[in-house]
A and B are shown apart, each in its own frame.
Chain A
Amino acid sequence: MLFALMASAAICLLDLPSAIRTKEKREITIVSILSALVIILCFLQAFGVNLPKLMTLINEFFMWLGIYYKM
């Protein structure tokens, strides 16, 4: 939880203000959307939500395809 709070604070205090300083609508929109996504992910992680283990899923997919070294 502490990490999620610190990450959110850092993003809101450093990344977002520097994007706003550019005064470009596109820059501000994209940085805001990306920041919101990352902050949501941080809090999901903090609340113990089981996020998909991406590389494990890819492993399983490759093994299902049969593309791997047999031991």
Chain B
Amino acid sequence: MSIDKSKITVTQFVFTIVCFIESSAVLSSFSVGISGKDSWFTMIMGYLVFLILVFVISQIMRRYPDKTLIEINNEVFGNVLGRIISVFYIWFFVTLTSLNLLDTQVFASISIMTKTPPIVLMATFMVICVWALRNGISVMTRYMTVIGLLAFAITVFAFIIAFQKFHLSNLLPPMQQKPIVYVQASHIVSTIPFGEIIVFLMLTPNVSSSSKKYGRYILIGTLLGVISMLLVAIRDIGVLGETIKYFTVPSLETQRVSSISKIFSRLEVLYTIIFTALMYSKIVVLLYAATAAIAQFFKLKTYKNISLLIAALCIVYTLNLYDSGISHGLSGMLVVPFLWSFIEYILPILTLCVILIKSKFKKEGTENDAVRVNGKRGNLSLGPSLGN
């Protein structure tokens, strides 16, 4: 049973996924820093790998539509092993919230609020997220459709504005790098924005849908998100060329250099507005997942009583994640894809395998029982005939 009784519509669910993926455009610097002008290709490859996870998640959701990830772990692996696996997921949700909070703070510090102390930025952002969270999941996701559509509209508008500076030659010649570069960049893309979708297993019981076609909803949401990400990547590569590798937020630089005459210039303000809104949509979902998971782990009645303290924990954790920005960048490129692969891909696949094995044994058990019952009935019916 869900810890939050409020329901969200399928549209809200799909657009929450769209916002979640679109907000990851800023994190493209991990893969862009490696594959450079071929980033669009690695995004497609990463998405294709991610389709495995879509299948796994949808199968789990279909089998346990009324349970969250923590409850599924307890049911599938038992009380002890299930709780150990849940600890991994809780750590993952808290870390992911903190990492995204760090990205938002870094972005705000380098682009709009250069003199504001980081802790003020983070605390203000988290207060808004907690405020939404304490009102329940339906309030939390109410504006996702607007944010998602607005983000897409701004992306298209920015693409048109940047067209003057767009050079197709920056995208050519494609596929000239070593194969390992494509493997690494695709691996990063499949884990850092896409694999994080696993968090939506905490929202399953709140989706009010009669058809329960979860795979289709996730597919539509991520597809819309990836189209937006591809547009951003192609635009940034076309405008910045090989220099794209050297920027922390390439999209911001693209917007800075784009303009139509002198009237439409300094359009990065549009990007910063929509980026902040998108990051809110991502962090609020992650914070909900972390809070709800911790509340369910400790068998609390509601997650609202611990929302503020989890937010405070995330802020302190954000300040103690990495030694420096370089360490963060290198970690995202070299180590984190392996670490996240274990939580985002291996654990869910393992869960699905155990579910399938258990259901097979259960089926065989019921079949054997049915045979035994039928046999007894046969003997009973045979009795009188033998007597005759």
A-side residues, CB < 8 A to B, are 3, 6-7, 10-11, 14-15, 18-19, 22, 24, 26-27, 30-31, 34-35, 38, 41-42, 45, 51-56, 58-59, 62-63, 67-69, 71
A55 to B95, Cβ gap below 8 A? yes
Interface residues of B in 62-85 (CB under 8 A from A): none
**B339 lies within 8 A of chain A by Cβ:** yes
18 residue pairs of the A-B complex, CB under 8 angstroms, read A7-B312, A14-B308, A15-B308, A22-B301, A27-B300, A31-B305, A31-B306, A38-B312, A38-B316, A42-B316, A45-B316, A45-B319, A51-B316, A54-B95, A59-B327, A59-B334, A69-B333, A69-B337
What are the residues of chain A within 8 A of B338 when measuring CB–CB?
62, 67-68
With CB as the reference atom, state the residue of chain A lying closest to B317: A54
A51 to B95, CA, bound (A): 16
Distance (whole angstroms) from the CB of A43 to the closest CB of chain B? 10
Q: A18 contacts which chain B residues (CB < 8 A)?
A: 304-305
Contacts A3-B119, A22-B305, A54-B320 known; A41 to B184 CB distance under 8 Å? Answer: no
Q: Are B300 and A53 in contact (CB under 8 A)?
A: no
A53, B320: Cβ atoms under 8 Å? yes
CB closest residue in chain B, given A65: B338
Chain B's nearest CB lies how many Å from the CB of A16? 8
Partner of A11, one of B95, B298, B308: B308
Q: Which residue of B lies closest to A29 (CB)?
A: B298
Whether B231 is near chain A, meaning CB under 8 Å from some CB there, is no
How many interface residues does B have (CB within 8 Å)?
Answer: 37
Minimum distance in angstroms from B103 CB to a CB of chain A: 13
* Residue-wise interface mask of B (302-333) relative to A, using a CB-CB cutoff of 8 A (1 in contact, 0 not): 10111111001101110111110001101101
In the complex, B123 has a CB within 8 A of chain A: yes
Taken together as a complex, chains A and B put the C-alpha atoms of A15 and B311 apart, in Å, by 11
Which residue of B has the minimal Cβ distance to A2? B119
Are B321 and A15 in contact (CB-based, < 8 A)? Answer: no
Q: A58-B335, A58-B339, A62-B339 are in contact. List 20 more A-B contacts (CB 8 A).
A: A3-B315, A10-B308, A15-B308, A19-B305, A22-B301, A26-B300, A27-B300, A31-B300, A31-B305, A34-B306, A41-B316, A42-B316, A45-B320, A51-B316, A53-B321, A54-B317, A54-B320, A54-B321, A68-B338, A69-B333
Q: Does B299 contact A (CB under 8 A)?
A: yes
Least CB separation from A45: chain B residue: B316
| Given A10-B312, A26-B299, A42-B316, also A56-B305 (CB < 8 A) | no
A44 to chain B, nearest CB (A): 8
A38 to chain B, nearest CB (A): 5
Residues from chain A with Cβ under 8 Å of B180 in the complex: 69
4 smallest beta-carbon distances between A and B, as pairs: A7-B312, A19-B305, A68-B334, A51-B320
Determine the chain A residues whose CB is within 8 A of the CB of B95 once the complex forms. 54-55
Interface string of B106-140 (1 = CB under 8 A from A): 00000000000001000100000000000000000
Closest to A31 in B: B305
Which residues of the other chain, B, contact A7 by a CB distance below 8 angstroms? 123, 308, 312, 315
Chain A residues closer than 8 Å to B330, beta-carbon distance: 59
A38 and B334 form a contact (CB under 8 A): no
Q: A6-B123, A10-B312, A22-B305 are in contact. Are A30 and B323 (CB under 8 A)?
A: no
